[in-house]
Amino acid sequence: MSLNLFSAARPIRAAALARDAFAAVTLAAVNIPQVLGYTRIAGTPVVTGLYTVLLPTIAFAALGSSRHLIVAADSATAAIFSSGLHEQAAAGSAHYMTLVGAVTLLTSLFLLIARLFRLGFLADFLSRTVLIGFLSGVGLQIAIAMLGELLGIPTQSHVARDQLMEVAAALARTHLPTLAVSASVLAAILIVEQIGWRFPTALLAVVAGIAASRAWDFAGRGIAVIGPVPGGLPPLTLPLPSWEETLSVLPLAISCGVIIIAQSAATSRVFATRYRERVDGDADILGLAVANLAAAATGAFVVNGSPSQTAVAERAGARSQIAQLTFAALVVAVLLFLTGPLADLPRGVLAAIVFSVGVRLIDLSSLRSIRRESPGEYMLALVTAGTVALVGVEQGILLAIGLSLLRHVRHSYQPHTAMLIPGAGGLWTPAPATPGSETTPGLIVYRFAADLFYANESRFCDELAALASHAPTPLRWILVDASAITDIDYTAAQTVRQLCEDLRGRGIKVVFARVSPYLRADMDRHGITAALGESAICDTLHAGLEAVRSADAEIDSILTSWASTHR
C-alpha cells in the first residue's frame, strides 16, 4: 500500500495555517478538559486522557485522509471496554491498565487487518440521511450525559436513558452554586454565538473558571473540580499481555474496532460532504490503526474519530489536520508546564462547553428539510438518532447500516415500473403500468427500474403477466425497456425465460431493448438470448421498435401515423 504522508494537512498556506492554529487553541480549550473527563468513563488515571491527544493525533494526521476528523479519547469506545473490564480488575489498578493496554493494542491490530482487507467501503452504506440522524443522536447523547455535571448531580450510568432517569430522580438535590457556574458559561456561549463573534469563548471560560475557582475556593464550597493532573511526557512501552489476557479482551477489541470504523467513517463523511471533499476510508482506517498503536505505546487507551471534538474544531475554523498537529503541540506544553492549574477547573465549566457542542450537533434544519422532501427517510433519521442517544452509539451505527441496506433492498425489491406510451411532441411518455392499459393496440412497452434478482423477479413476471392478460386488445408484442437493468441473476433468469416461453405459447413475442453489454452477457449465459432469438435483444429502444414494426404491419402503421402527426 502506498503512503501519502500528511496529505490532509497540505497544501500549507500562510492564511490557512494561521486559521487552523487559532482553531487549535479553541480545540485545546474544549478537548483537554473533555478527554480528562473521559478517563472517568474509562477508569484510567486522569493524565491518560492527555496522552490520547498526543502521539495518536499526530499518527492520524500523518496517515489519514480526512481533513477534519479529530482522533482522541471517545466516550463510546471508553464505555465499551470499561464495562467489559470492570469484572476482571479494579479500575485504575496495575492489572486493569495492563488489560486496557491489551485492548488498545488488539484494537490497533484489528484495524490494520480491516485496512488490509479494504473495509473502508463500509462507509458507503451510511446515507446522508443516516449521517444526519447519527450526529443528531450523538449530540443528544452528549447533552444528556452533561446534565448531571451541569446541575451538580452525580450519575453512575454510562447509558443516556439511565442518566436521564438518575438526573430526573435527583433534581431536588441540584447543587445551586454548580448550576450558577454552568449557567454562566452556557449563557456566555449563547450570547457570543447570537452576536456572531468568532471568539474563543471556550478558552476564556476555562481560564476564567480556573481563576474564579482559585479565588473563591470552589472545591471548598462543594463545586466539583478536575483535581490533580500529573505532568511530564509519557514513557514509550508496548503492553505485553499474557495469552489468557489476550483471549479475555479480544471480543472487546473487536467491538471497539467495529465502532471505530463505523463512527469515524460516519463523522468524516459528514464533514467531507459539507465541504465537498473526498475521503479515503481505507487510508483513515490505517491512520486509526497506527493512532491506536501509538496510544498503546504511551499508556493511553483506545482512540476514535470523535464527532463532538471534530465539530468543535470545525466550528472554530479548522479546515485541515494542521489544527490537530498544533493541538498536539499545545498538549505537550500543557503536560510540561500547565497541569497544575488544570486541577482547579470546575467540572461545570467543562460540562457547559461540551453540552453546547452536543446541542449544536443536532441538525434541526437538515431534519426539517428531510421531513419536507422525504418523510420515509425522515423517520429513518429519527430512529437512528433515538437509538444512538438512548441505546448506544454502537447499536445506533449498526442499526443505521442495517436500515440503510434495508431501504436500498426495498427500492430494488419494489422498484418503479412504467408503461411507455406515445405522447405529445413525438416523445415517449411514462404512464402507470396498470392492467387494462397498453402502449398501442397489440403492443406494450414496459420499463422496470432495477436489476433483476431473486427477490424482485416475481414482481417483474407477475406484472407483465397481468398486463398481458388484461390488455384491451389482443396482445402480440411486449417490448421491455431494460435501460435500468444491468444484471440478472440465476433465479430471475430462469423465471424470466419461463415467462417468455409461456407468453410465446399465447402468441405474444417478447423483445428486450436498451440492453447493456453487461446485461447481454448475463442473458447469453442464462439462455435467454437463445430462447428469444438474437433479433429480440436490441441495444436501443429505436432498434427494439424497429424489430417489432418490421414484423407487424399494423403496429408499424399506428406508430408511423403517430410520428407523422407530431413532426
Retrieve residue 528's grid coordinates. Answer: 435467454
Residues whose CB falls within 8 Å of the CB of residue 504, separated by 6 or more in sequence, listed in order = 510
Specify the pairing of strand 417-422 against strand 428-431. antiparallel
Quick one: 538 exposed, middle or buried, by C-beta within 10 A (0-12, 13-18, 19+)? buried
**CA 514 – CA 290 distance, rounded (Å):** 49
Kindly give, in sequence order, each residue whose CB lies less than 8 Å from that of residue 237, ignoring residues fewer than 6 positions away.
297, 299
CB 398 within 8 A of CB 262: yes
301 touches 81 (CB < 8 A): yes
Strand positions, DSSP E, 300-442? 303-305, 417-422, 428-431
- Is 237:276 a contact under the CB 8 Å cutoff? no
Per DSSP bridges, beta strands 303-305 and 71-73 are antiparallel
Alpha helix positions (H), 73-232:
75-85, 94-116, 128-151, 160-169, 176-195, 201-216
Please say whether the beta carbons of 548 and 511 come within 8 A. Answer: yes
Q: Which residue has the cell 479480544?
A: 250
CA-to-CA distance for 97 and 42, rounded, in angstroms? 10
Per-residue pLDDT, 126: 66
Domain covering 417-565 in this structure, CATH number: 3.30.750.24
Q: Which residues pair with 304 in a beta bridge?
A: 72
Mean pLDDT, each 10-residue run in order, the chain (567 residues): 72 80 83 78 86 94 91 81 79 88 94 86 69 80 85 80 88 92 89 73 83 91 86 88 86 84 82 84 91 95 88 82 92 90 86 80 86 85 85 72 74 86 79 92 94 91 94 94 93 94 94 94 94 92 92 89 73
In this structure, what are the phi and psi dihedrals at residue 462, rounded to the nearest 5 degrees? -65, -40
Contact 233, 47 (CB under 8 A): no
Question: What does the pLDDT read at residue 566?
Answer: 59
Q: Which H or E run contains 406?
A: helix 393-413
What's the CA gap between 21 and 268, in Å, rounded?
20
Cell numbers representing residue 444 in the block? 406494450
Q: Which helix (DSSP H) or strand (DSSP E) does residue 72 occupy?
A: strand 71-73
57: cell is: 493525533
| Residue 231 per-residue DSSP state | -
Task: Give the 3-state secondary structure of residue 71.
Answer: strand
Instruction: Delimit the domains of the chain by residue range.
Output: 13-231+239-408, 417-565
pLDDT of amino acid 391: 80
In what helix (H) or strand (E) does residue 423 lie, and over which residues does it extend? none
Signed CA dihedral, 430, 434, 436, 442: sign only: positive
**What angle, 0 to 180 degrees and rounded to 10, lies between the N-to-C axes of helices 201-216 and 347-361?**
160
* Count of Cβ atoms closer than 10 Å to residue 109 Cβ: 16
The position carrying cell 424482485 is: 456
The per-residue pLDDT for 332 is 94
Encode 127-150: b = buried (16+ Cβ within 10 Å), e = exposed: bebbbbbbbbbbbbbbbbbbbbbb
Report helix, strand or coil for 515: coil
Q: How far apart are CA 47 and CA 234, in angstroms?
A: 9
Are residues 555 and 442 in contact, defined by beta-carbon separation less than 8 angstroms? Answer: yes
**Residues 438 and 456 sit within 8 Å (Cβ to Cβ):** no
Residue 521 and residue 534: Cα distance in Å, rounded? 13
Counting every residue, how long is the chain?
567
> Which amino acid is located at 399 in the chain?
L
Which residues lie below 8 Å from residue 309, measured CB to CB, with a gap of 6+? 27, 30, 31, 34, 70, 72
